[in-house]
Amino acid sequence: MKVILTQDIKSVGKKGQIINASDGYARNYLIPKKLAVVADNANLNELKTKQDANKYKKDMSRASAEELATKMKNFELVFKIKAGENGKTFGSVTAKDIAEELNKKYYVEVDKKKIGLADAIKTLGTYMIDIKLFEGITGKLKVNVISE
């Protein structure tokens, strides 16, 4: 019996996948527990519609991320921090600071976890930082840390 899974089931399949299950397994376990529905024409059409809508949303997100990545090449964030001799700073610039400043200055919301900063910036200088915008799309952001 062909069924469409409505949830991920370990060692069976993922949500939205069409599988061939034995009649007893499908009728006695999958369908009563609402883990699957029978793969009839109405349910197949509904599944195709959902998949098309998800693909469209993903394509739109990818396009906006690519556009943002090209715009981001021109972005520059400047952080003024007190510094002592040898360019050593009193404090640091973290991924959270970069995300907040990017939102304030350019109205771009980025999760701080998506900012490719291994450790906080603790010295003066100019840095190029990678920001993950979408699967396989990263933007380069110029961060300039100067003395106050």
Residues 37 and 97 in one domain: no
For residue 30, what are its two tokens? 């999958």
Domain that holds residue 92: 67-147
Residue-wise pLDDT tens digits, 81-132 = 988 877 678 889 999 999 999 999 999 999 999 999 889 998 888 999 999 9
Residue tagged 């799309």 (tokens): 137
Residues 59 and 71 in one domain: no
CATH number at residue 45: 3.40.5.10
In whole angstroms, give the CA distance from residue 148 to residue 81: 5
In whole angstroms, give the CA distance from residue 138 to residue 133: 5
For residue 132, what are its two tokens? 């993950």
Residues 85 and 49 in one domain: no
Give the type of residue at 65: A
For residue 89, what are its two tokens? 């700073």
Residues 85 and 131 in one domain: yes
Residue-wise pLDDT tens digits, 10-60 = 999 999 999 999 999 999 999 999 999 999 999 999 999 999 999 999 999
Which of the 8 DSSP states describes residue 113?
A: G
Residues 139 and 86 in one domain: yes
